Amino acid sequence: MNISAFCYTNQGGREHNEDSVRCCAGEDRGIFVLADGLGGHGCGEVASALAADVLYDGIAAGNPDTGELCALFQEANAAILRQHAVPGQEDMKTTAAALSITPGRAVWGHIGDSRLYRFSGNTLVQATRDHSVTYMKYLGGEITRMDVYHDDDRPRLLRALGREPCRPEAAECVPAAGDAFLLCSDGFWEYVYQEEILADLLKAETPEQWAKLMLLRHIRRTPPGNDNFSLISVFVEE
């Protein structure tokens, strides 16, 4: 099994980038982490980098199952909470999504509204549920799936790293050749819809080509002052 990937991050229309990405791909091993520091909470870039490092290093040290991956999210949360003692970092928070791929196991976890999409068996699914007021409204039938992209409550997160209680979610599958994964921050997915993600994947021969096709859609739609945006595209091959 070979794993290939492409990662991209951009500060968008903001003064600095609060997203952090970590990416390692090769034969029989893939480690991918994306974290999105929360703007308006101060030092979001510090929180996202700290979370990304803790998650990446923890995954690299082993082959975590869902419980162990959730424990790594707890470690990241504790690390950020300790940093709250530093002046100026008292309220910093971040979302995060992480993916580990080894032969026989792909395990992912998330907290907040950074997403992971999974393609397998000719079907693309959103494998994570946003921890936001808007997504709860969607699950409760108050709004449609397309309303999620534009709902006024979308910035209101129910879970994040940097607060207690820390309640990540995790899942796993058996990866197969032909599978693909996409990790992305909300600054990306709010402008590129799931059907378009699938359409571009079906046209792409590499993770980089897939990403660039989606980024072409993104750049046409983003308004001035748009949020930071990041993605990691992953292919599982023979």
| CA–CA gap between residue 199 and residue 95 (Å, rounded) | 27
What's the pLDDT tens digit per position in 165-187? 999 999 999 999 999 999 999 99
pLDDT tops 70 at residue 41: no
- Residue 121 CB neighbours (<10 A): 9
- Show the domain range for 98: 2-237
Tokens 């693309």 -> residue: 124
Q: What percent of the chain has pLDDT over 90?
A: 94
Residues paired with 124 in a beta bridge: 119
> Taking the model in full, what pTM does it have?
0.96
What total number of domains does the chain contain? Answer: 1
Q: What's 140's domain CATH number?
A: 3.60.40.10
Say yes or no to pLDDT of 49 above 70: yes
pLDDT for position 17: 95
Instruction: Note if the bond before 168 is cis, omega within 30 degrees.
Output: no
**Nearby residues of 224 by Cβ (< 8 Å), 6 or more positions away:** 13
Q: Give residue for tokens 């549920």.
A: 129
In the numeric block, the tokens 């990403």 are attached to: 211
User: Phi and psi of 173, rounded to 5°?
Assistant: -150, 175
For the chain, give the percent of residues with pLDDT over 70. Answer: 99
Q: Which of 192, 168, 65, 42 is nearest to 117 (CA)?
A: 192
* Residue 89 CA, distance from chain mean position: 23
Counting every residue, how long is the chain? 238
| Average confidence score pLDDT of the chain | 96
* Cα 198 from Cα 104, distance rounded (Å): 24
**pLDDT tens digits, 196-208:** 999 999 999 999 9
Burial class, 15, CB count within 10 angstroms (exposed 0-12 / middle 13-18 / buried 19+): exposed
Cβ distance 111 to 159 under 8 Å? Answer: yes
Residue pLDDT, tens place only, 78-129: 999 999 999 989 999 999 999 999 999 999 999 999 999 999 999 999 999 9
